[in-house]
Amino acid sequence: MTDLDALTARTGIRAEFYDPLGTRYGFPTFPYHYAPDNLATRRQLRADGLRPGGQPVVAQMLWRHRQQRRVAYLYRRDLAAPKRTATPAQRALIARMLLARRTCRHCGITRPYYIPRSAGACLICEPGGGTR
């Protein structure tokens, strides 16, 4: 009994998504949670403070969720670059943009919450949102 057969018997994970040579899918493919340790998704790279850095996708993970086939692309960890950090000017710009999202256009008051884009006004100025 191979590791893959034991995996299918123990967990019910389908062997159809195990194709490390890429003969079936044209791309190295692994079942969910069974990719090699030297490969990572974008989220896993981000959690480690890395980014793909322009490298191509080298493999994929496939799994089924609610009758749909899901895919996650995998990148090599050794070729990943460190995440870029924002400059002080970029951080200041982001702070101004977030402040603008909390400032009501009608009354000009900065609220402790983001103004709903659907209304375009704070909950007090919005019709039916409360009294002034």
Contact between 8 and 15 (Cβ < 8 Å): yes
The answer to whether residues 69 and 98 belong to one domain is no
pLDDT band at 118 (very low <50, low <70, confident <90, very high): confident
What is the structure's pLDDT at 117?
87
Q: What is the domain range of residue 118?
A: 85-132
Q: Which residue has the tokens 């993970």?
A: 61
Q: What is the DSSP string of 45-98?
A: HHHTTEE-TTPPP-EEEEEEETTEEEEEEEEESTT-EEPP---HHHHHHHHHHH
Q: How many domains does the chain have?
A: 2
The answer to whether residues 7 and 58 belong to one domain is yes
Predicted TM-score of the model (pTM): 0.64
The answer to whether residues 56 and 113 belong to one domain is no
What is the per-residue pLDDT across 83-115, written as a single tens digit (0 to 9) for each?
A: 999 999 999 999 999 999 999 999 999 999 999
The answer to whether residues 73 and 90 belong to one domain is no
What is the structure's pLDDT at 61?
92
Q: Please report, as a single letter, which amino acid is at residue 14.
A: R
29-31 and 59-65 strand pairing: parallel
The answer to whether residues 73 and 27 belong to one domain is yes
Residues 77, 69: Cα–Cα separation, whole Å: 25
The answer to whether residues 92 and 78 belong to one domain is no
The answer to whether residues 113 and 99 belong to one domain is yes
The answer to whether residues 32 and 52 belong to one domain is yes
The answer to whether residues 99 and 41 belong to one domain is no
